Chains A and B, each alone.
Chain A
Amino acid sequence: MKLRTSSASALFLVPLVAGALALPATAQTGMNTTALEHSVVLDNLESPWDMAFLADGTMFFTEKCKGLSVLMPSGEVKPLLGMSGSEGYPSTADDLFCEGQAGMMGVAIDPNFAENRRIYVYSTSNMVTPHTNRLMRLVVSEDFTGVSDRTDIVDDVPYKMAASDHPFGGPGAHNGGRVRFGPDGALWLTTGDNHNAEIPQSPTLMGSKVLRIDTDGNAHPDNNPPEGFDKRAYTYGHRNVQGIAFEPATGTPIVVEHGPWHSDEITVLVNGGNGGWDPRPNMAGRGDCPDNYCGYSPNQMEGMNRYERAAFMPMTDLDTYPDAMQPIWDNNGWSQGSGSAAFLEGEQWGDWNGAMVVGVMGIGFGGTPIGQRIDVVELTDDLQVEDVTEMTLPMESARFRSVVLGPDGSLYTAVDEGAIHKLTPAN
């Protein structure tokens, strides 16, 4: 465990952070209300993707191309399950691999872990061809030295096998990847569109969906997708959902997803709802598109006014799907890689108690401000956005891949640069 710790008042840091960013990226009508202490929990990691905590602070974490490990309260890191080619793990699963955006992603702990020792990990697998993304159930040994009894409870989330003529068009694009237990005890998994235009509105392909299932992978009995849909789908018609969190007062699921060169979105999910993403050619006034996917059209390789883009290829197409779930936030029309979400809970967060935080990785294409940051999104009682404040960070900005509230009430964030940070309100 690293001991490097810093703290600073929000007011002192404002000019420093403002100077480090090229342009402000969001409307900032709020004020920072807390000062944050910062420490590095782990560094020298390889693309850490997600974390999950036990009540005593034990932290499971994934690295995209390496595997699953656990940080014990003592500070000891114990590797648990390696991917193909990984070294130093007690066991490896040789079908698990990484490519592009794909690899080992989300992790969640069973609410009954104390009894069943189960955790859930989402990873890309080449067990079959075409390859798939899988949600695995694993049993952790009593001494946290290994996992066993792997059961793939979801084995059919599609994976992009071949490169296509698109930005970020390599294999492995758009897998979603977040895994969380909701307050109802159900298991939730978010997926992505693979740059495959047929997936988002497909009733049976399990990309571009938010799945609500049990711990055996069965559909939640109350899921209400349209007739003919796979019953595991809670919602469909998404682009690439990497963030999901549950509003504490109501338990309502809220997702955060990347936009296509425009319009990152926060959306309050409705059971059976359509996210309104449909990048098929010859739809909604569009003609043919490169490799039959209009997701970055028009003018996909060059900068362009984001509102013109949004008019041509909307993230939420309310003309075609008037009943689609409307986003409550669109990042001022920018796409900057919003990819994770959590709620701040506890009196230590002051006025931010109950607010949502969104991790933004930053992209910086075509004149877009890169925008690496954590936004604090305050919601009204009816779950509309009341205020958005960029968190003043006592650390450098980074590609914020994951945000998780720890059992100690601190906010933990994994960054692609290779670290997991802890942010704690200072008294």
Chain B
Amino acid sequence: MYRAFILALGMTGLAATAQAGEADVAAGEKAYQQVCRNCHGPKAQGMSAYPKLADKEADYLTERLETYRAGERIGPNSPLMIPFAQELSDEDIVNIVGYITTAFK
């Protein structure tokens, strides 16, 4: 799955097209639907013990991803989140957060 995620990011030409602070929502959608949806659901609705994201603000989502990326544990699902987040660039986070905060409102 992890390799598939990286592949998906590469296929979108993400790094070349996204600017910090300006979300490439299409790239964010591809990344989200490739990986994040497996736990958080296709509509970011949350599943099982995995939280709903659709109702979260961009600042919250960004802070969480950056915290996981730093390897800090901030909840019971940290061992799942940290390895995924550690592969994300700033642009990736902007894109994913941009998708979540626009697609499900």
A interface list, Cβ under 8 A from B: 22, 46-47, 64, 100-101, 163, 166-170, 172-173, 300-303, 361-367, 369-370, 372, 399, 416-418
Contacts and interface: CB of A to CB of B under 8 A. Distances in A.
A297 B96 CA distance: 33
A170 B51 CA distance: 12
Contacts of B41: 416-418
Contacts of B76: 100, 163, 166-170
Contacts of B45: 46, 417-418
Interface in B1-30: 1-4
Contacts, number: 66
Contacts of A169: 76
B4 A22 contact: yes
A168 to B, nearest CB: 5
B1 A22 contact: yes
Contacts of A163: 76
A362 B49 contact: no
Contacts of A370: 1, 38
Given A364-B38, A416-B48, A417-B42, A301 B2 contact: no
Interface of B: 1-4, 38, 41-43, 45, 47-49, 73, 75-80, 82-83
Contacts of A362: 38
Given A170-B76, A417-B41, 5 more contacts: A22-B3, A167-B79, A168-B77, A365-B83, A370-B1
Given A367-B2, A417-B42, A301 B49 contact: no
Nearest to A171: B76
A230 to B, nearest CB: 28
A417 B47 contact: yes
B64 to A, nearest CB: 16
A167 B82 CA distance: 12
Contact of B83 (A361, A366, A372): A366
A196 B94 CA distance: 40
Nearest to B3: A22
B79 A47 contact: no
Nearest to B35: A364
Contacts of A46: 45
B47 A399 contact: yes
Contacts of B75: 170
A201 B45 CA distance: 37
A302 B79 contact: yes
Chain A CB within 10 A, most for which of B3, B38, B73, B80? B38
B97 to A, nearest CB: 21
B67 to A, nearest CB: 15
Contacts of A22: 1-4
Given A362-B38, A367-B2, A370-B38, A167 B80 contact: yes
B49 A101 contact: yes
A302 B41 CA distance: 24
A364 B49 contact: no
A255 to B, nearest CB: 20
A300 B73 CA distance: 13
Contacts of A300: 79
B16 to A, nearest CB: 25
A169 B77 CA distance: 8
Contacts of B82: 301
A168 B47 contact: no
A372 B38 contact: yes
Contacts of A302: 79
Contacts of A416: 41, 47-48
B49 A172 contact: yes
A124 B2 CA distance: 35
B77 to A, nearest CB: 7
A364 B81 CA distance: 11
Nearest to B45: A418
A169 B78 CA distance: 10
Nearest to A64: B48
